[in-house]
Amino acid sequence: YVEEHTFQFDEAFPENTTNAELYNVCVRPLVSSLFARKAKCTVFAYGQTGSGKTYTMLGCQEPSKATPGLFALAGRDIFTELERYNGRHAHPTYQTSKDELAIKVSFYEIYCGKLFDLLNHRKMLAARENGRNRVVIVNLQERLVEDPDELMKVVAEGMEARTTGVTGANADSSRSHAVMQISLVHKKQMKHVHGKLSFIDL
């Protein structure tokens, strides 16, 4: 006897869907909400090893097949929105307004139940609960980035650290999960997070 289940989805995409098409439907609205609603959003790529999760997130870097992934597409639009936002909130006198935002990036890996900072020589990290009962990653390095190209350089650095840290075998790669976080922070109070977009490659 097999019990039947009904599953509901907001969207279902055919196999020939491009990264850009997927991004426009699933991720682009989240980018807008970071600025408009100070949202904290998460994008999961979930599936078995070899199903294309990393390709969706990172795209193809070969010159002849160059295809941007969700990281690059989101980065492009986030910086476009950032320029507009800061333009509206610029102070007429002071060089930096208290409302102007900047972008920080962190990138870490969960491997065999342990956390590693992909932007700090794979330094082992610890997850702790703070005074507000929220889980935080202690001493996770954050990089201030100024444009989409700099963002992708940081992503490439993190991916290289992840690749050299594990083998190419399926058994190992399936135990490795990468988390890349893009945080909107206030320029005058860098610890004050305005919004956050997390990409998780499971």
User: Any known ligand binding at 47?
Assistant: yes
User: Any known ligand binding at 38?
Assistant: no
User: Any known ligand binding at 113?
Assistant: no
User: Any known ligand binding at 80?
Assistant: no
User: Any known ligand binding at 165?
Assistant: no
**Full 3-state SS string of the chain:** CCCCCCCCCCCCCCCCCCHHHHHHHHCHHHHHHHHHCCCEEEEEECCCCCCCHHHHHHEECCHHHCEECHHHHHHHHHHHHHHHHHHHHCCCCCCCCCCCEEEEEEEEEEECCEEEECCCCCEEEEEEECCCCCEEEECCCCEEECCHHHHHHHHHHHHHHHHHHCCCCHHHHCCEEEEEEEEEEECCEEEEEEEEEEEEEC
User: Any known ligand binding at 49?
Assistant: yes
Binding site members for ATP: 47-54
